[in-house]
């Protein structure tokens, strides 16, 4: 299948790594579907791509998808299923972090917002779009996670570690601040937990696909510490709660210690992971863009935490996620 006929769906492409990846893929001729949270974001992305093309080349599609609302995921999935015949690559890149906030935010369905956006909506979206992926001759699923899922990683050691316990906090009758059932809210822990969910979901998804003899690789990756200059980017939500602290941290990490990865290179890496034939092998893969020394990152096979390789926990998260959103526990293709 030629590049021009391949369709790629990317969540979180209105800014940051997702946008840079989309620009990279667009320049290579891929057909892009870039879901946007609202009409304003949709128009913004359309204008970005109008500015970078100098031909009659088809602009990316920018339909509305609000990941904080499961009903929006359902509506988007139904619309896309009617409009296109197949999806070749699904990139689950959108992520939310509001570190510094003392109180949990809730999604439209009443779930803690980080868990809802970073895991639950992507979980539902993947299940709904799998029939379209199965129609591709070279399908691939890419999930943006983070090294902070691992309490032994440099970022994972700072603050409260990721820990899901026995998933006591996943209960559709009562709201819990955290997935392990603890009630004292910590936004940084909520983010780390969601990134652990990404990996557990990816591993369980891969196993279920293999059980059905579906040769679709599932790749989780960690982009490293990416802090671009300006008001946009991943940390834009956290700045609302600790603007001075975030600006100081960004300045030291990016401009003094040089331990951050560039936005452009991160987008390039994600685009390569999504399309390079060397990642065609089926099964689950975890890649980490690791800091080798100041100013130098290298993409390599990553190290998963003990919880991330817990098969029972992965299966339990899958089943509980299905229960929360009211879908079948089995993959429907």
Q: Mind telling me the catalytic residues?
A: 191
Q: What is the bridge-based pairing of β-strands 284-293 and 296-301?
A: antiparallel
Evaluate whether 92 touches 144 at the Cβ level (below 8 Å).
yes
Please tell me the distance from the alpha carbon of residue 290 to that of residue 160, in angstroms, as a whole number: 21
Instruction: Give CA torsion, residues 261, 287, 305, 190, to 10 deg.
Output: 50
| Closest of 85, 69, 1 to residue 35, by C-alpha | 69
The distance between the two most distant Cα atoms of the chain, rounded to a whole number of Å, is 54
Q: Any bridge partners for residue 92, and if so which?
A: 143
CA neighbours closer than 13 Å in the CB half-sphere of residue 286: 21
Please tell me the distance from the alpha carbon of residue 85 to that of residue 82, in angstroms, as a whole number: 8
Complete DSSP assignment for 111-158: SBHHHIIIIIHHHHHHHHHHHHHTTSTT-EEEEE--GGGSTTSTTTTS
| Closest of 193, 166, 190 to residue 177, by C-alpha | 190
Q: Any bridge partners for residue 10, and if so which?
A: 91
CA neighbours closer than 13 Å in the CB half-sphere of residue 166: 1
Please tell me the distance from the alpha carbon of residue 74 to that of residue 125, in angstroms, as a whole number: 8
């Amino acid at each position: 299948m030629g590049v021009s006929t391949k369709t790629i769906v990317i969540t979180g492409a209105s800014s940051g790594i997702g946008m840079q990846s989309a620009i990279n893929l667009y320049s290579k001729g891929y057909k892009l579907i870039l879901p946007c949270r609202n009409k304003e974001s949709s128009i913004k992305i359309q204008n970005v791509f109008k500015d970078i093309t100098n031909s009659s080349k088809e602009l990316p599609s920018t339909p509305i998808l609000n990941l904080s609302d499961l009903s929006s995921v359902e509506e988007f999935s139904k619309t896309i299923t009617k409009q296109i015949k197949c999806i070749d690559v699904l990139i689950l890149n959108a992520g939310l972090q509001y570190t510094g906030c003392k109180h949990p935010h809730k999604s439209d369905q009443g779930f803690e917002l980080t868990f809802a956006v970073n895991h639950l909506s992507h979980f539902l979206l993947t299940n709904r779009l799998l029939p379209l992926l199965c129609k591709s001759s070279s399908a691939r699923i890419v999930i943006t996670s983070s090294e902070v899922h691992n309490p032994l990683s440099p970022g994972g050691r700072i603050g409260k570690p990721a820990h899901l316990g026995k998933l006591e906090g996943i209960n559709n009758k009562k709201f819990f601040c955290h997935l392990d059932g603890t009630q004292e809210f910590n936004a940084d822990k909520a983010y780390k937990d969601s990134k652990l969910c990404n990996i557990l979901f990816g591993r369980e998804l891969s196993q279920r696909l293999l059980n059905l003899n579906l040769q679709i690789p599932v790749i989780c990756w960690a982009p490293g510490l990416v802090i671009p200059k300006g008001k946009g980017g991943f940390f834009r939500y956290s700045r609302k709660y600790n603007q001075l602290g975030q600006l100081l941290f960004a300045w030291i990490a990016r401009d003094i210690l040089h331990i951050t990865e560039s936005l452009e290179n991160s987008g390039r890496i994600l685009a390569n992971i999504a399309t390079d034939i060397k990642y065609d092998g089926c099964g689950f893969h975890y890649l980490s863009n690791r800091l080798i020394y100041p100013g130098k990152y290298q993409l390599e096979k990553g190290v998963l935490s003990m919880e991330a390789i817990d098969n029972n926990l992965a299966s339990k998260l899958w089943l509980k996620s299905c229960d929360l959103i009211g879908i079948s526990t089995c993959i429907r293709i």
